[in-house]
Structure 1
Amino acid sequence: MLEIAKPSKNDTSAAALPYDSSAVSIWKNRTFLAVFSSYSLSLLGNTFHSIALNLWVLQTTGSAKLMSVVLITHLVISMLFGSFAGTFADRTDRRTLMWISDAVRFVLVAAIAVLIYLPNVPFAYIVLLTGLVAFAGVFRTPAFQASLVEIVGKEQITQAVGAISISDNIIRISGFALGGIAVAAVGGAFAIAIDAATFLLSAILLLIAGKFPYQAPKDEGIAKTSFKDDLAAGFHYVWKEPFAKAAVLLLPLVMFFFLSTFMLIQVMAVKVWHAQPFVFGLMEACIPLGYVIGSILIMRLDTRLKSRGKWTLWSVILMGPLFIAISFMTSASSALPLILLVGFLFSFSTTIIFIALRVAVEPSMQGRVFGLVGALTSVAPPIGLAVFSTLSDLYGPAVIIAASGAAMLLIGMIAYRRFTAIRTFQ
């Protein structure tokens, strides 16, 4: 069983710093509010930038191929540099790394807006700047994920992760919608200029946040290791530490099957169920709504929710039969309750793991662990979408949804048996 030992009052080690039984609510924590707002703005900038740039490419060139170049650029950079960025986040001040990342993206995205506004600018310049934006952004994610425990302490980590999960869903949905509206209303250049402003505001909020209250002091007397050694140490830690290893294996698999299967459910709604636009909209809202409900429940129950690791693994297991049941539905309306429940289970199968990682993983290693998780979870969904869409064209969406559900059921059962570190997390 994964137990958390309370440190003594005289213990000033890095491991002890995150604990504070008298910690105020996260909503009264000025540093958390500033960083949370910064994260939300940065995420809004990411989603806004993605849809605005993609729509501009389609509107100006009409080429889906060129749009895919932009998407692939982001994907490749996230995959190649996730662990590199995570190692960097463990070797430097994470707050500084975050605001520099936002400031650099502000400059780069503003440059993209200028180039889009100018006539006859080679598309290669847009791709180059997009790659640099992705490279700067890849440093922010592990730095933010690893810094949460430095901001709120381990006693408040469930509340913080739950709040971020809710923000994630709301902003990803609204960001895509707002990006599309902005491009249609004011054009691609001005829409991307608005996007640049979100990164600037995010950087300012991080500067306002001040020093993180639970940040461990730097050890002056310890010899510094090389970047290469730290990078290797991160992979070694994940391989040897049971919880980190289990999470790095399980999360990409859940993302792979869940997102790919939901895409096929959308295909089925159009091609098989012939869903009306209103019903299709409700179906689109079911997943994030279920996820938000689950995240709120996790926040409210906090430590009163016992055997959280079992809740996580049972959620993975139960999503399998639900996908199989959805594949047999004859209409989108009848599938809505099942889709809502899948969104709820998806929250439990991911949010609790992200909470546990911050408890189980050493603070000095969290950047590297989250960097690796981010790299794998970013590459899994696009691969899944490509594979599942190809199979759907050959055998139909219902067959592949059922097969995916059976695979999730099997993976969940294997994980429940083999991933003891997750199963015993309290």
Structure 2
Amino acid sequence: MTATRRAGRDLLALPGFRRWYAARTTSLVGTAASGVAVPMLVWERTGSATATAAASGLSLAPYLLFGLFAGAYADRVDRRRLMVGADAAAAALLATVPSAAAFGTVTAAHVLAVVVLTGTAFVWFDAAAFGALPQIVGRERLQQANSLIFSTTTVVGIAAPALGGLLASAVGPEAVIGINALTFAASALLLRRLALPGRAAAKAASIRADIAEGLRFIWSEPRIRALTFAGFGIACTGGGALGLIVVHADVLLDVRDWELGLLYSATAVGSLFGAMLLGRFTARFGHGPVSIAAYLLELTMVVALAAAGPGPAGFALAVAAWIAWDFAHTAAVVNGITVRQLLTPDALQGRVNTTGRMIAWGGAPVGALAAGGLADLVGVQNAFLLLSVPVAAGTILLLVSPVRRLKTIES
């Protein structure tokens, strides 16, 4: 733990990373709180499990449409300006929800449109931000930077969702979304003064050629290929489970609003432990075995969530299952990202990482929309049971791939 703290202090001593980290953390606080408020608002307006699940899943859908292009484009332009523009656009879009609510005109369709459009802004921000990260910290510090980033994300996720639930109950979910708009505006202001080291000029090739180069590398590297497509399966299960968390809590657990916030915080607690302990597990057992174990644990916890019911015992089971579920989910995701970064040449980092995330994260909206439809058709409990199928398929893919034998990666 001392080494982890020392690595964090060393990273924060870098002015560029400190500003990048502060901007990202600021917007994360608002996003985590708004992550509770948005599905609450849609559920209040519609009472539809499909629409509520869509509110969570549609934020990642733009990755399917723009991920390839954004990754190639971010390698060509000023990444700082791209990040600032994306944050400013997200702030303006989110501000329309409380503005419409003030006039009594906010609708579920409006909220879902904002979800899609802010998700689109996020694609461009993400492509620029994770392309800029190696510039800021250097390749040798990437693993420590990823650990700090994901640990911070989960710490914010412990407190912010519970606070978001309380605020949404007290002043309405629209106000919480308005606060999120302010955090994106603050992030844009911080990033305006971010100084990025110079980089080589982009080669004279078409965007299509750049995209094709990234895709060829992902397909030709069997370990990245397996982790990417297995990632689609685990993201599909994850998107469906998180997309139904509000519906699951209301229909199966019969909880109050503040207890819903605790369920979101439970996922963050699991994620925190997953990020903190991942390094120890991979050092002892290797990257491949840890990924497979994480997939198996997530599969088990999805089934456990289907078994949770009303009452204190059911709520306790749900809390424990969500903690273990996100422990496994975070370990699988962070390990996959780290392996991809370590196996990818520097010249392809932006395209390969954005393309890989696009393919893997593309499972989240698919899972969310499918889970919402299944919940309406066959019930919430059966929907959770069916959500075990994608992560099971991902587990099988890893077991029959070279990932099973992946222990360490040479620099």
Tell me the TM-score normalised to structure 1 length. 0.74
Moved more, 103-112 or 307-316: 103-112
Q: Which residue of 2 aligns with 1:229?
A: 209
Paired residues in the alignment total: 398
User: How many Å separate the matches in 1 of 2:100 and 2:255?
Assistant: 41
* SS of residue matched to 1:210: coil
Amino acid at match of 1:320: L
Out of 75, 79, 103, the position equivalent to 1:94 is 79
User: How many Å separate the matches in 2 of 1:166 and 1:89?
Assistant: 26
Are the aligned partners of 1:291 and 1:347 in contact in 2 as well (CA < 8 Å)?
yes
Amino acid at match of 1:244: I
Out of 348, 353, 357, the position equivalent to 2:331 is 348
Are the aligned partners of 2:242 and 2:368 in contact in 1 as well (CA < 8 Å)?
no
Are the aligned partners of 2:97 and 2:177 in contact in 1 as well (CA < 8 Å)?
yes
Q: Which residue of 2 aligns with 1:372?
A: 355
* SS of residue matched to 2:200: coil
Out of 295, 300, 307, the position equivalent to 1:316 is 295
User: How many Å separate the matches in 2 of 1:372 and 1:273?
Assistant: 38
Q: Which residue of 1 aligns with 2:10?
A: 25
User: Which aligned pairs between 1:107-186 and structure 2 lie closer than 5 A?
Assistant: 107-110=92-95, 117=102, 132-172=117-157, 174-179=159-164
Shift of 1:291: 1.6
Shift of 1:409: 4.2
Amino acid at match of 1:91: R
* SS of residue matched to 2:192: helix
Q: Which residue of 2 aligns with 1:423?
A: 406
Cα deviation code 1:253-310 (max 9, x no counterpart) = 11212443566787667656667989876655433212211211235x4984451232
User: Which aligned pairs between 1:158-307 and structure 2 lie closer than 5 A?
Assistant: 158-172=143-157, 174-179=159-164, 192-212=177-197, 217-219=199-201, 223-261=203-241, 284-298=264-278, 301=280, 304-307=283-286
Are the aligned partners of 2:37 and 2:177 in contact in 1 as well (CA < 8 Å)?
yes
User: How many Å separate the matches in 2 of 1:112 and 1:100?
Assistant: 20
Q: Which residue of 2 aligns with 1:5?
A: none
Out of 35, 52, 55, the position equivalent to 2:20 is 35
User: How many Å separate the matches in 1 of 2:254 and 2:107?
Assistant: 42
User: How many Å separate the matches in 1 of 2:246 and 2:95?
Assistant: 35
Moved more, 399-408 or 237-246: 399-408
Judging changes above 3 Å, is the alpha-carbon distance between structure 1 residues 114 and 400 closer, same or farther for their aligned structure 2 residues? closer
User: How many Å separate the matches in 2 of 1:189 and 1:395?
Assistant: 31
User: How many Å separate the matches in 1 of 2:147 and 2:76?
Assistant: 27
Are the aligned partners of 1:321 and 1:406 in contact in 2 as well (CA < 8 Å)?
no
Q: Any gaps of 5 or more consecutive residues in structure 1?
A: 1-21
* SS of residue matched to 1:25: helix
Shift of 1:313: 1.8
Tell me the TM-score normalised to structure 2 length. 0.76
* SS of residue matched to 1:359: helix
Q: Which residue of 1 aligns with 2:88?
A: 103
User: How many Å separate the matches in 2 of 1:393 and 1:66?
Assistant: 10
Are the aligned partners of 2:38 and 2:177 in contact in 1 as well (CA < 8 Å)?
yes
Q: Which residue of 1 aligns with 2:29?
A: 44
Shift of 1:311: 0.9
* SS of residue matched to 1:91: coil
Amino acid at match of 1:233: E
* SS of residue matched to 1:311: helix
Amino acid at match of 1:317: L
Judging changes above 3 Å, is the alpha-carbon distance between structure 1 residues 134 and 398 closer, same or farther for their aligned structure 2 residues? closer
Amino acid at match of 2:150: S
User: How many Å separate the matches in 1 of 2:109 and 2:261?
Assistant: 36
Shift of 1:99: 2.1
Judging changes above 3 Å, is the alpha-carbon distance between structure 1 residues 321 and 109 closer, same or farther for their aligned structure 2 residues? closer
* SS of residue matched to 1:142: helix
Shift of 1:397: 5.2
Q: Which residue of 2 aligns with 1:413?
A: 396
Shift of 1:97: 1.9
Q: Any gaps of 5 or more consecutive residues in structure 2?
A: 1-6
Shift of 1:80: 1.0
Shift of 1:35: 0.8
User: How many Å separate the matches in 1 of 2:107 and 2:216?
Assistant: 44
Larger Rg computed on CA atoms: 1
Cα deviation code 1:52-88 (max 9, x no counterpart) = 56666777x7686998897787455342112211111
Judging changes above 3 Å, is the alpha-carbon distance between structure 1 residues 82 and 318 closer, same or farther for their aligned structure 2 residues? same
User: How many Å separate the matches in 2 of 1:130 and 1:123?
Assistant: 10
